[in-house]
Amino acid sequence: MTEENKAAANTENQGPMMSLQKIYTKDVSFEAPNAPHIFNEQGQPDIKLNLNQKVNKLDDTTYEVALTATVTCTVNEKTAYLVEVCVSGVFTMQNFNDQTLHQTLGVYCPNVLFPYARQQVSDMVMNGGFQPLMLQPVNFEQMYAQQMQQQAQQAATETKQ
């Protein structure tokens, strides 16, 4: 077997490989604009969660995935608190086809990062003097599928015009 054939055989035998290099906090923010008066408000808190993710290609096989969680709590239409946490991870991905790479970056990586963001949000809310907040698990696979469906619909609409 020639050296070229051995190299080709080794490449074929190696399936997709991924490794997590680092998880870190990129940005945090906590605001309680109506404190201390908001602590005396009576009413049911209205909590809104907004998630956003961004993928930054660092080199041929390394990606930074940043997951931002923004939580806004209002009581009687007054903002009680606003928390924003951005947790990032550096992932090395090798031997992925484009579709699998895109899906892994859009589903698996945010799933890895979410527990860290959830814990930071919870700690910041409690340290701000408010009732504990535990964000519910998020189905990133469903979110990814909806995003792909929206992109397909937009592309179909654009081609009709």
SS3 63: strand
**Is position 134 within any domain?**
no
Helix axes 109-127, 140-160, angle to 10 degrees: 110
Q: Please state the domain count of the chain.
A: 1
pTM: 0.85
46-57, strands of its sheet edge to edge = 17-31, 78-94, 62-75, 46-57
**Is position 156 within any domain?**
no
**Is position 105 within any domain?**
yes
Cis amide leading into 33 (omega within 30): no
**Is position 77 within any domain?**
yes
Beta bridge partners of 66: 54, 88
**Is position 159 within any domain?**
no
**Is position 139 within any domain?**
no
**Is position 149 within any domain?**
no
Q: How far apart are the first and last CA of the chain?
A: 55
Domain CATH code at residue 28: 3.10.420.10
The residues, any chain, with a CB within 8 Å of residue 124's CB and separated by 6 or more, are 28, 30, 83, 85
**Is position 118 within any domain?**
yes
Per-residue pLDDT of the chain (161 residues; tens, 9 = 90+): 455 545 554 555 588 999 999 999 999 999 999 999 999 999 999 999 999 999 999 999 999 999 999 999 999 999 999 999 999 999 999 999 999 999 999 999 999 999 999 999 999 999 999 998 999 999 999 999 998 888 888 888 877 76
What is the extent of the structural domain holding 111? Answer: 15-129
